[in-house]
Amino acid sequence: MKMIVGLGNIGKEYDKTRHNIGFMTVDAVADKYQATFKQDGQRHAFVADVRINNEKVLLVKPTTYMNDSGDAVRPLVDYYKLDLADLLVVQDDMDMDLGRLRLRQKGSAGGHNGIKSIANQLGTQKFNRLKFGIGHPAHVHQAVVDYVLGHFGKDEQPDLLSGLDQAVEIFEGFAAGEEMPILMNQFN
């Protein structure tokens, strides 16, 4: 079994914002495989169960808000007795152009509070991540907050959709058991 966790914030006001690109990627997989998310209140997440290449894959959207994502991920990892090699977390990354993707097997949170929460709860920084580029505004604090909580413009749709399509390909390879270094060579 594999688990793909898309990071984001719950609530209509955050729907389809840059900071919720993780939710958007797992939604894209759920749409392709006609899966429905169900709330798992005990583990603070919406979870959809899909079969990709004959592998059971859990698609997860934490209901904890971004900064407490680990409060959902850790209980799910424990409940399903997942090896961390079978976990892939999708995060937004302002330091990459919109639609650009980068796979990592470990590393620091790099200022991303959702990743920091997961690392704290798991007790390690060694877990798979897919960084999804959302671009960067001017380096003014309020501009950054407004930017990540803002919606994608019409002119950004081609890059956004291309990134989502490529993310689905990565998830399919991950589900098929392709090794992370191979996926990294192919998609980074």
109-140 exposure pattern, b = at least 16 Cβ within 10 A, e = fewer: beebebbbbbbebbeebebbbbbbbbbbbeee
120 marked as part of a ligand binding site: no
Q: Answer yes or no: 19 catalytic.
A: yes
CB atoms within 10 A of CB 34: 8
CB atoms within 10 A of CB 49: 15
53 marked as part of a ligand binding site: no
Reading the block at residue 183, the tokens are 């996926």
Task: Please identify which of the residues 19, 112, 141, 151 carries the catalytic annotation.
Answer: 19
The answer to whether the CB of 89 falls within 8 A of the CB of 127 is yes
CB atoms within 10 A of CB 38: 10
128 marked as part of a ligand binding site: no
One-letter identity of residue 149: L
Q: State the catalytic residues.
A: 19
Annotation: binding site for tRNA: 14, 65, 67, 113
Annotation: binding site: 14, 65, 67, 113
